[in-house]
Amino acid sequence: MKIIIIGLGNFGRSLALHLTDNGHEVFGVDHKMEKVDLLKDHIANVVCMDANNEYAYKVLPIQQADLGIVAIGENEGSSIVTTAILKKYKHLKIVSRSLSKIHDTILEAMGINNVVHPEQDAAFRLTKQISFNYALDYFRVDHKHSIAEVFSPHSFNGKSVKSLNLTQKYSVSLITVIRDLKNPMSSKKNPTRKVIGLVTGDTILQKGDILTLFGSNKSIMNFVKKR
């Protein structure tokens, strides 16, 4: 996928590097040359230009691009203008970073359905990690439900999934299990892990398993506390 990222601050730069690592062709844009220089050797192409200048977009492969991401994080007005310019390219899917509630409202009025709040999302994840204590990672499904990765309790070792009655006892559903592979070349600090796939009632849990659970935030928190 060809992706144009406008705004190469911490969020935009990190996004550009991760997307490149995942095989996408990324074109980065920023009006500050020092930010452009940081990425020039790491992504497909990077351009120093004023994203609020509609005529400057001629230097970008925007007609061939699949996705435009507005990652500007310093200037709300500039972000809105940039989004408005990208909206003129009807084929382009747009993701825009929002900086405030009113920014959300403006983007909604512009018809932008894909809006991200990196600072809020990071704060939410940290809050959940602190609140849930033993959880390794979280994905918020909505305000009341999450998908969480937690270490399997020692008391679960050697037991089948159906014998644990997770739904009845804890009101959570087990999606899958991440398991350490027995690899003599891997160290304890960097174990080789694999998702075992579809979990059945006959799946036997092992020491060191990581459980991927779905449930309400309250149910997951209660499960973690009881582990």
Specify the CATH number for the domain of residue 81: 3.40.50.720
Q: Both 6 and 112 in a single domain? A: yes
E strand intervals along 55-164: 67-70, 93-97, 114-116, 135-140, 145-151
The secondary structure of residue 186, as a DSSP letter, is: S
Q: Both 111 and 126 in a single domain? A: no
Final residue of a structural domain among 116, 133, 151: 116
Distances (CA, A) of 114 to 12, 14, 108, 111, 219: 16, 19, 9, 9, 29
Q: Which one, of 80, 75, 87, lies nearest residue 111 by Cα?
A: 87
For the chain, how big is the Rg over CA atoms in Å?
A: 22
The secondary structure of residue 208, as a DSSP letter, is: T
Q: Both 75 and 142 in a single domain? A: no
Q: Both 70 and 128 in a single domain? A: no
- Average pLDDT value for residue range 82-107: 94
Please determine, for residue 12, whether its predicted confidence score (pLDDT) is greater than 70: yes
Please determine, for residue 183, whether its predicted confidence score (pLDDT) is greater than 50: no
At a CB cut-off of 8 Å and minimum separation 6, what does 187 contact?
none
Band the pLDDT of 180: cuts 50, 70, 90.
confident
**Domain range for 66:** 2-116
Q: Both 71 and 13 in a single domain? A: yes
Q: Tokens representing 175?
A: 């999606």
Q: Both 129 and 35 in a single domain? A: no
Q: Is residue 213 a contact partner of residue 172, using CB atoms and an 8 Å limit? A: yes
Q: Both 98 and 144 in a single domain? A: no
Q: Both 112 and 136 in a single domain? A: no
Q: Both 151 and 222 in a single domain? A: yes
Q: Which residue has the tokens 């009341």?
A: 144
Q: What does the alpha-carbon distance between residue 218 and residue 170 come to, in Å, rounded to a whole number?
A: 10
Q: Both 144 and 93 in a single domain? A: no
Give the CATH number for residue 168. Answer: 3.30.70.1450
- Work out how many domains the chain is built from and give that number: 2
pLDDT by residue (tens digit) across 28-41?
A: 999 999 999 999 89
Q: Both 137 and 206 in a single domain? A: yes
At a CB cut-off of 8 Å and minimum separation 6, what does 209 contact?
151, 152, 156, 177, 178, 179
- Average pLDDT value for residue range 217-225: 84
pLDDT by residue (tens digit) across 120-175?
A: 777 666 666 665 555 677 777 877 888 888 889 999 999 999 999 999 999 999 99
